[in-house]
Amino acid sequence: MIPTVLLVGNPNVGKSALFSRLTGTKVISSNFPGTTVSILRGMLETASRGIRKNYELIDTPGLYSLTEKTETTRRGSRFVIEHADIIINVIDATNLERNLFLTTQLLALKKPMIVVLNMWDEAQYHGITIDIPLLSQELGVPVVPTTSISGHGVLRLVTQLTALQGNSKNKQHTPLASHWPDISHLVKHVQTVSKRTKKPLEHFATLTLHPVWGTCIALGCLITTFLCIFFLSEALESSITALFDFFLTTPLTFLHKHLASFPALQSFLIGTVENGTIDYQQAMGLLTTGIYIPLGQVAPPVTAFYFAMGILEDCGYLPRLATLADTMMHRYALHGFALIPMLLGAGCNVTGIIGTRVLDNRKQRIITAILLSITIPCASQTGFIVAMAHRMGGLYLTLLFVLLALTWHVLGTILGRREKQNYQEMIIEIPPLRAPRLRPSLIKLSVRVRNFLSDAIPITILGIALLIILNNNNVFSLLGASTFAFLHKLWGLPAEVIPALCMGLFRKEIALSYLKAIPNLSQAQAFISTLILTLWFPCVSVYTVLYKEFGMKSLLWMVGLMFTVSTILATLAHTLLQVLTL
């Protein structure tokens, strides 16, 4: 049987970075506690003196102790206790004392174990020296220093791992109690810290938490991030459109010509072609609009967002932003750290909802999940909004974001009111600011973009195929005729938006392809349809993950809330616009 090796340690100590190094698997690692929220598996193949050995390596969510109560740690610690053949306890070498508390609990499990002193580069930078042989002797297990981002020490760790199996002595640990005084004493014994002067980045890191300077830095950072996303997204979109025009227009017009005797197939695959040119947004064919919408319209803002977010994550700025927002978030009975799943949700709501596992209790998780899935557009919805911007105009676009922010505030206040009495403070550690590194940032970007594309493209193509078939068979005209009066009275929308609304429940890219093809949509109608589709959950995956995380009852309640909020808001907006234009 293949032995199971568990990477266990405090949050943000570099477990995932080490897992990536050891297995070659691309996993997301970021500079904030709580990046990994579920168990990840990979294979490690070793060859020592001609003997090959395989290990199943498991990356776990960060734990401070085996008895912690948050959702992630509960899952993680149960897994550690039940499944580990071998434990690799990853420690942040710059924070020995705090990390050793978990080590003592793991030693008490009496499983074969190696202690990895990761962040060895940072320990040296901070003038920290650790007597490794002495620490190893005190703990009774091998201790290996590593720098997982550069790979330093990883080979030595693998050698220790292969030597560990079959060495029964490793199961006999010295009985070091999980008591802070004992741990403190041990640390004093093995560690020396030399005095040094602070570097400019450390001074800047202190400023980021200052109430006034910190807020100015936060504003500067958010504006820069927004501009970076905007320009990068524009550049990507025009490059992708140029690639479509250059590589696809000629073969597709050729195909269009040769399908002239099969008009139904011609319209299904290619849609409309005018004077040998294809308008990929309006053509409404499977091979034209079907492919262009996810790749050319939605992927650019998604990629740009993930890129900018990755940089913010890696430099360790997000927990600082969360700390600054803490007082504000208390109004909604949430901890400042709830801001991180919400920011992640602006990339992908599914990631954000899973990310709520780092929060204290179920109620806080539910409030965060509701706020993010209803009021925070994911990158794909933002792409949808950006693509609809020129149909709405600048004023309506601004109004849309103001309404989203207001809804966030009102919904948060209402949901948080009952929870305020039960609010418990949560202690979160703030990581040091680090210059982001290109390799991990690019790995993360590639994992996220690949996940987005593999998720978005098949379902968008299927959705558009369905849309074309239903449209060609007049299903939407019939549906439109029966619901038109209601839709028009409530929201002032024409019957043509019905397919977009129906499909928008599943994926916004499909709705976009349809809305863009409606020629005479007024600015107000474009605004109302975009508002409704933004307030609805972004895609089917969100419904699934809400069900998995919170159960059917909560999902139904959330869906009810989503429809109520969107109906009220769209009706109010329509009524107000009517009054103003009278």
Q: Residue 54 pairs with which residues in a beta bridge?
A: 45
By CB under 5 A, tell whether 16 contacts Mg ion.
Answer: yes
Q: What is the CA radius of gyration of the chain?
A: 27
Q: In the set 10, 31, 35, 60, which binds Mg ion (CB under 5 A)? A: 35
By CB under 5 A, tell whether 356 contacts Mg ion.
Answer: no
> CB under 8 Å to 385, separation ≥6 — which residues?
377, 397, 400, 530, 534
Q: With respect to ligand GTP, which residue has the nearer C-beta, 36 or 281? A: 36
DSSP codes, 283-351: SB-TTTHHHHIIIIIIHHHHHHHHHHHHHHHHHT-HHHHHHHTHHHHHTTT--GGGHHHHHHHTT-HHH
CB–CB of 204/433 below 8 Å? yes
Pick one of Mg ion, ligand GTP, none as the site partner of residue 33 (Cβ within 5 to 8 A by kind). ligand GTP
Rounded CA separation 90/6 (Å): 10
Q: With respect to Mg ion, which residue has the nearer C-beta, 63 or 371? A: 63
Pick one of Mg ion, ligand GTP, none as the site partner of residue 106 (Cβ within 5 to 8 A by kind). none
Name the minimum Å distance from CB 105 to ligand GTP. 16
CB–CB of 32/318 below 8 Å? yes
Q: With respect to ligand GTP, which residue has the nearer C-beta, 73 or 288? A: 73
By CB under 5 A, tell whether 12 contacts Mg ion.
Answer: no
Pick one of Mg ion, ligand GTP, none as the site partner of residue 380 (Cβ within 5 to 8 A by kind). none
* CA–CA distances in Å: residue 489 to residues 494, 525, 571, 574: 10, 12, 9, 9
Q: With respect to Mg ion, which residue has the nearer C-beta, 35 or 460? A: 35
Provide the 3-class DSSP secondary structure of residue 453. helix
CB–CB of 509/384 below 8 Å? yes
Per CB under 5 A, the segment of 9-17, 412-420, 423-431, 565-573 that binds Mg ion is: 9-17
Name the minimum Å distance from CB 96 to ligand GTP. 14
Per CB under 5 A, the segment of 32-40, 98-106, 135-143, 429-437 that binds Mg ion is: 32-40
Name the minimum Å distance from CB 153 to ligand GTP. 9
Q: With respect to Mg ion, which residue has the nearer C-beta, 10 or 103? A: 10
Per CB under 5 A, the segment of 30-38, 95-103, 144-152, 219-227 that binds Mg ion is: 30-38
By CB under 5 A, tell whether 36 contacts Mg ion.
Answer: yes
Rounded CA separation 151/20 (Å): 10
The interface mask with Mg ion, positions 219-258, x = CB under 5 A, is ----------------------------------------
Q: With respect to Mg ion, which residue has the nearer C-beta, 35 or 303? A: 35
Q: How distant is the alpha carbon of residue 6 from its chain centre?
A: 24
Q: With respect to ligand GTP, which residue has the nearer C-beta, 35 or 178? A: 35
Angle 149-150-152 from CA coordinates, rounded to 5°: 115
Window 58-97: residues binding Mg ion (CB under 5 A) = none
Rounded CA separation 449/468 (Å): 27
CB–CB of 118/92 below 8 Å? yes
Name the minimum Å distance from CB 454 to ligand GTP. 23
**Exposure class string for 380-392: b at 16+ Cβ within 10 A, else e:** bbbbbbbbbeebb
Name the minimum Å distance from CB 12 to Mg ion. 8
Q: Can you give the length of the chain in residues? A: 582
Name the minimum Å distance from CB 371 to Mg ion. 25
Per CB under 5 A, the segment of 13-21, 90-98, 246-254, 397-405 that binds Mg ion is: 13-21
Pick one of Mg ion, ligand GTP, none as the site partner of residue 121 (Cβ within 5 to 8 A by kind). ligand GTP
Name the minimum Å distance from CB 100 to Mg ion. 20
Pick one of Mg ion, ligand GTP, none as the site partner of residue 12 (Cβ within 5 to 8 A by kind). ligand GTP
First to last CA, the chain: 77
Rounded CA separation 442/428 (Å): 27
Give the DSSP H or E segment for 547.
Answer: helix 540-550
Query: Contacts with Mg ion: how many residues (CB under 5 A)?
Result: 4
CB–CB of 333/364 below 8 Å? yes
Binding site for ligand GTP (CB under 6 A): 9, 11-17, 29-31, 33-36, 61-62, 118-119, 121-122, 147-149, 314, 440
Q: With respect to Mg ion, which residue has the nearer C-beta, 16 or 104? A: 16
Match 């093809």 to its residue by tokens. 517
Q: With respect to ligand GTP, which residue has the nearer C-beta, 123 or 270? A: 123
Pick one of ligand GTP, Mg ion, none as the site partner of residue 301 (Cβ within 5 to 8 A by kind). none
Give the HSE-up count for residue 261: Cα atoms under 13 Å, Cβ half-sphere.
1
Name the minimum Å distance from CB 30 to Mg ion. 8
Q: With respect to ligand GTP, which residue has the nearer C-beta, 7 or 528? A: 7
Rounded CA separation 410/371 (Å): 10
Q: With respect to ligand GTP, which residue has the nearer C-beta, 114 or 278? A: 114
Q: With respect to ligand GTP, which residue has the nearer C-beta, 426 or 518? A: 426
Long-range contacts of 530-533 (CB under 8 A, 24+ apart): 530/384, 530/385, 530/388, 530/392, 530/400, 531/400, 531/403, 531/566, 531/569, 531/570, 531/573, 532/491, 532/501, 532/504, 532/566, 532/570, 533/381, 533/384, 533/500, 533/501, 533/504, 533/508
Interface positions with Mg ion (CB under 5 A)? 15-16, 35-36
